[in-house]
Chains A and B, each alone.
Chain A
Amino acid sequence: MAESGGHFDDEASERYSMGTLSGEEAEQIEEHLLICEACRRRVAGSDTYVTAMRRAAARVRRSKKRRKD
């Protein structure tokens, strides 16, 4: 999960945004976010992407269901 210097990769950032990390992993990330601007920007980007994808995926699901009905 961690890259050098305590930074974390895009995948960990996305999992953090989705809330699917273990408690220990989330703890490490949150401590690092207290002091790292680059990783805060990374998480802000993941938050935007994950929120948008969830809404869009829900819309896809709804239209698929409507077509079935």
Chain B
Amino acid sequence: MPPAGQSWSRLVKRIQSGEASAMEEMYGIFTTGIRFYLCRQLGPQDLDDRVHEAFVTITQAIRKGELREPERLMGYVRTVVRRQVAAQIEAAVEQRRRQIDPSLGAVVCDRRPNPERQAIEREEAAVAYRVLQSLPPRDREVLVRFYLKEQSPAEICREMDLSATQFRLTKSRAKMRFGELGRARLAHHRGFRPQE
């Protein structure tokens, strides 16, 4: 939300008039959210540069008066970072195309997630697998249909003759179990022994 006692329009006006404190406020409000979005979509590589690039685009647009509805500042920020993600993905696709065709002469780079991240994801999947294996086959089937086949809850309930409540219960029990097993595993890795 905008700084206390202000509106987005007021903040935009202050940035347009070149107030340094207004720029700082905008950075303070949006930096973490922009980092989160970009990191979630593109991974942690070059994150600082990408965040900086987003702010440059947003600030320039505000100063040039291109932001026609200042009250919609949040929507504009979202649009800028989405475009940035789309451009990055397009560039990555192009690079992959060049990797396939060496005559186009691009640098080949390794885009796999880092080994530490891969190990964490493997562990989390192992916990989820234990959760699924601990369930009755019918409950397991519900979750496989939902998470893997992406069937809608209504479709699953219809095809498996379940009520919406049964569906919700199956899902929430599995999630709770995942949390318990995950915490237990984490405690084990840290050498934590619960007190008796």
Which A residues are within 8 Å of any B CB, using their own CB?
18, 20, 27, 30-31, 33-37, 40, 43-44, 47-61
Name B127's closest neighbour in chain A (CB-CB): A52
Q: How far is the CA of A56 from the CA of B125 in the complex (A)?
A: 5
CB distance from A67 to the nearest CB of B (A): 12
CB distance from B6 to the nearest CB of A (A): 14
B15 interface residue, CB < 8 Å from A? no
Determine the chain B residues whose CB is within 8 A of the CB of A31 once the complex forms: 74-75, 78
In the A-B complex, the 4 residue pairs with the smallest Cβ-Cβ separation, listed nearest first, are A34-B33, A56-B128, A55-B125, A52-B128
Give the interface residue-count category, chain B.
20 to 34
- How many angstroms from the CA of A55 to the CA of B125 in the assembled complex? 6
Smallest Cβ distance from B133 to chain A, in angstroms? 8
| A5 CB, min distance to chain B CBs, angstroms | 9
Chain B residues with CB under 8 A of A18 = 147, 150
With A31-B78, A33-B37, A34-B37 as known contacts, state yes or no: A60 contacts B129, CB within 8 Å: yes
Q: How far is the CA of A55 from the CA of B147 in the complex (A)?
A: 9
What secondary structure prevails in chain B residues at the interface with A? helix
> In the complex, are the beta carbons of A34 and B124 less than 8 A apart?
no
Least CB distance from B148 to A in Å reads 4
A-contact 0/1 string along B33-53, CB 8 Å cutoff: 110110010000000000000
State the CA gap A31–B175 with chains docked (Å). Answer: 26
Interface: B29 (CB within 8 A): yes
Q: Which of B36-78 contact A (CB under 8 A)?
A: 36-37, 40, 74-75, 77-78
Show 11 A/B contacts (Cβ-Cβ < 8 Å), sorted by A: A34-B77, A35-B33, A50-B147, A53-B128, A53-B178, A54-B148, A55-B128, A56-B126, A56-B128, A56-B132, A59-B125
Given contacts A50-B147, A56-B132, A61-B148, contact A33 B36 (CB under 8 A): yes
Residues of B within 8 A of A54 (CB): 147-148
* Contact (Cβ within 8 A) A55 B121: yes
Q: How far is the CA of A30 from the CA of B121 in the complex (A)?
A: 24
Does B163 touch A at the CB level, under 8 Å? no
Q: Interface readout for B157-196 with A: 1 if CB under 8 Å, 0 if not?
A: 0000000000000000011001000000000000000000
Alpha-carbon distance between A55 and B127 when the two chains are bound, in angstroms: 11
Q: How far is the CB of A28 from chain B (nearest CB, A)?
A: 10
Known: A30-B78, A57-B143. A37 touches B125 (CB 8 A): no
